[in-house]
Structure 1
Amino acid sequence: MAMPLKAARLCRLAGRSVTALSASHNVSLPERRCYVSTSTGNNIQFRLNELTAHSSLDLFKKDTGIIYRMLGLDPSRVPDNPERFQDWAVVFGDEKVSSGRHYFEVTVKKSQEFRVGVAEAQMSREDCVGTNSSSWVFGYAQRKWFAMTNNKVVPVTLVGKPDRIGILLDYEAGVLGLVDVKQPTVIHTIRAQFKAPLCPAFGLWDGELLTHSGLEEPEGLK
């Protein structure tokens, strides 16, 4: 089935056309996967998992930040493994969450197109975050914010593009919130039934993202 036009515009692909994506099929990943640890408490602390990073993304600052390189590395020169995103400019955090309430922040630099959120650790590497039922993200593109899961795009009313945003995850409540860190307040929430371990998930098509984890949740968030 062809991807909805609006979603297609928001789903930029690194290395494959949107038309080709709409014809692709999900691929189940092998069960032998042990690259990330699991968190059952609060205050998630993570680094970015280089084993998952697309070849156009460079990790820096002790694997807490990513830079998008338009040309990137030759995919054939990047070690192949079932964790890596081969087509989409996506990277996961190296920590899994299976319960609890967690909060982290992201600093955005010189980027006009990015996505931040969470995804199931076993999500297909054939997909981009936000295009399937295994990922939940907030994104920015064409100077507009949106929430996205399973290819459904919901506009988010937000004035301007802040340099730093927060992400609040309540696993049991099934809530993912986009946080204005200056207020602080939850701007928009995505509601879901989380049934599998989740990883922090990031997509980037220009500029830089720097993650900040191990943070206390700001007071007053619900």
Structure 2
Amino acid sequence: MSAASCLLTEDQLLCGICLDVFNHPVTLPCGHNFCKKCIMQHWDSSTNCQCPSCKESFYKKLDLRVNTFISEMATQFRQSAGRSSCQVAKSGDVPCDVCTDTKMKAVRSCLVCLASYCETHLEPHLTASRLKKHQLTDPVENLEGRMCTIHDKPLELFCKTDQTCVCMLCPVLDHKSHEVVPLKAQFEKKRAELGRRENEIHRMIQDRRLKILDIKHSLKLSKEAAEREMADGVQVFTTLMESLQRAQADLIGMIEEKQEETEKEVRSVIRELEQEISELIKKRAELEQLSRSKDHLHLIQNFASLDASVRTKDWTEVNVDLPSYEGTVKTAVDQLEETLGKEIKKLLHVAELHRAQQFAVDLTLDPNTAHAALVLSDDGKQVHHGVKKKNLKDTSKRFNPSCCVLAEQSFSSGKFYFEAEVKDKTRWTLGVANESIKRKGIIPLCPDNGHWTVWLKNGEEYAALVGSPLPLTVNSKPEKVGVFVDYDEGLVSFYDVNAGDLLYTFAGFSFTEKLYPFFSPGLNDDGINSAPVIISKVNHTDVLI
């Protein structure tokens, strides 16, 4: 054999996968040889079992056994070439039980000898005829635990009755009439069970990762909602503080203006009094000088002119009306309270509108529901009355004779919001309706009939259709109307988007079926109401505070 080994070359003993000298070589049915570990890893990473060299397929993974002849040749080649596949045992490796100085990594364990061997010390088990009969296995620790403690035989069977591993003698002696299966069969069953459990745990891990993503997304939404609420709060309180500052400035300005007018009047009276005092002093001086004269003729001649009375005002009844400031602050506070009440109400409506706008949905009109005289835009966002009816099939979905149309989208839970532009129109109806509403004949729009709507009629009459039209007061003519629905709370609210005013709210209802956004542009009215109703994109900047 030694002579023959000298004729071998390294290329003849190389594994086609790892490109190294064979280590525990196995032979496939097609005749090609590979390291056992290499071919098993190759098949584990593939969906089918093929020979890497010739691509021949096998029905299932083979029970491969080491080709001892090729293994011996590979071992002798390594020895003759001064090579060894032995590796120093590391943490986690099974060490060779024979090595004394440096423990090498075991490559096989013998269930008869109850020992593990490195490549070098395994050689006798591969060459000696007596040792070749021993049962070898992949290196394992605690070989004593793999032997039957009663019969000192390898544990090769599994007793399903006692759920324990047994040797070949146990079913005959100690486990009579028990259900016993080969250990490999139980191994495959348990491995399959472990695979299922692994898949289940993998699914649980994925579920929890998705849950984390969901929680993070919820946290993000919560943070965005908090930021929006803070922004709305800052805007509301800033507006209120500005109102307070204006009211304070108006109060101080009014008091200062009134006080300034009083001071002006007082200064005018004082100037007049001081002028009369000056004239009286001058008159007194002249009289005093004349009284000292000893010239009889002079005194007589000038007395008449000096005796004339000085023209003065009778100041007895003259008073300056000083203003009273009592109650001024109270009056200002009362006015401020009324103003702030209106302001706060409006700001709350604006804040509600901002929150509603977070649930904006994208709508398109459903042409299958539109009355034959309605004209829809190509993108399904606009509708107006076209006077002439189109020749359309009058299906059960189509409104007739009411000039109405529904959106394609429906909602049966949660919240949603949309806006419709109604600028330059004298008549329109907006809201939501149940899927089951009657679409043929003249049906009064009201909640009892499955409609929650408001309308404009005759260019100035706004009303909520609650059975009979309930007139609505508007501060300005709405050019864009927002509709908010909370399905679960049974609430439908209408807003004047630009003014931020709440027009009306239907509340306390219990929705039980799909809700569809409802639109009616009204009749053309000889061109007076020709402008379309437009489903507009929600824009927060439309709201004015």
Q: Same fold (TM over 0.5)?
A: yes
- The answer on whether the counterparts of 1:129 and 1:136 sit within 8 Å (CA) in structure 2 is no
* Secondary structure of the structure 1 residue equivalent to 2:498: coil
Aligned to 2:489: 173
Contact 2:478 / 2:498 at 8 angstroms: preserved in 1? Answer: no
CA offsets 1:90-128 (integer angstroms, 9 cap, x no match): 000001110111111011143211100000012110244
User: Which runs of structure 2 are paired with 1:78-157 in the superposition (5 Å)?
Assistant: 78-126=392-440, 127-128=442-443, 130-131=445-446, 132-142=448-458, 143-149=460-466, 151-157=467-473
Q: How far did 1:66 drift? A: 0.2
Displacement after TM superposition at 1:80 (Å)? 2.6
Q: In 2, are the aligned partners of 1:105 and 1:165 still within 8 Å (CA)?
A: yes
Greater per-residue helix proportion: 2
Which residue matches 1:46?
Answer: 363
Higher relative contact order (CA 8 A, sep 6+): 1
Is residue 64–residue 212 contact of structure 1 (8 Å, CA) maintained in 2? yes
1:158 to 457, 474, 478: 474
Equivalent residue for 1:187, pick from 470, 489, 503: 503
- Deviation per CA, 1:155-195, whole angstroms, max 9, x where unpaired? 11113322111111111111111112124342311122222
8 Å Cα contact 1:103/1:217 also seen in 2: no
2:377 and 2:444 map into 1 onto residues whose CA distance is 21
Residue 60 of structure 1: which of 329, 352, 377 is its match?
377
Deviation of 1:210 (Å): 0.3
Alignment size in residue pairs = 174
SS in structure 2 at match of 1:146: strand
Q: CA–CA distance in 1 between the matches of 2:445 and 2:414?
A: 22
**More strand as a share of residues:** 1
What residue is the counterpart of 1:197 in the other structure? 514
- Where does structure 2 lack aligned partners over 5 or more consecutive residues? 1-358, 525-529
Displacement of 1:69 in angstroms is 1.7
Alignment check: 8 A CA contact 1:116 1:203 kept:
yes
Contact 2:406 2:516 (C-alpha < 8 Å) held by counterparts? yes
CA contact (8 A) 1:43 1:216 kept: no
Q: Would the alpha carbon gap of residues 165 and 129 (structure 1) be closer, same or farther in structure 2, given more than 3 Å must change?
A: farther
Amino acid at match of 1:64: K
* 1:152 CA displacement: 2.5
Contact residue 90 and residue 129 of structure 1 kept, 8 A: no
Alignment partner of 1:73 out of 385, 389, 392: 389
Rounded to whole Å, the distance in 1 between the matches of 2:506 and 2:419 is 17
Give me the whole-angstrom Cα distance separating, in 2, the residues matched to 1:217 and 1:200: 21
Cα deviation code 1:134-165 (max 9, x no counterpart): 1110100021110114x332111113322111
* One-letter code aligned to 2:490: G
**1:119–1:129 CA contact under 8 A, matched in 2:** no
- Which of these two proteins has the greater Rg computed from alpha carbons? 2
Identity of aligned residues (%): 23
Distance 1:94 1:216 in 2: 22
Give distance in 1, aligned partners of 2:363 and 2:496.
21
Cα distance in 1 between the residues matched to 2:443 and 2:410? 18
Contact 2:433-2:517 within 8 A present in 1 as well: yes
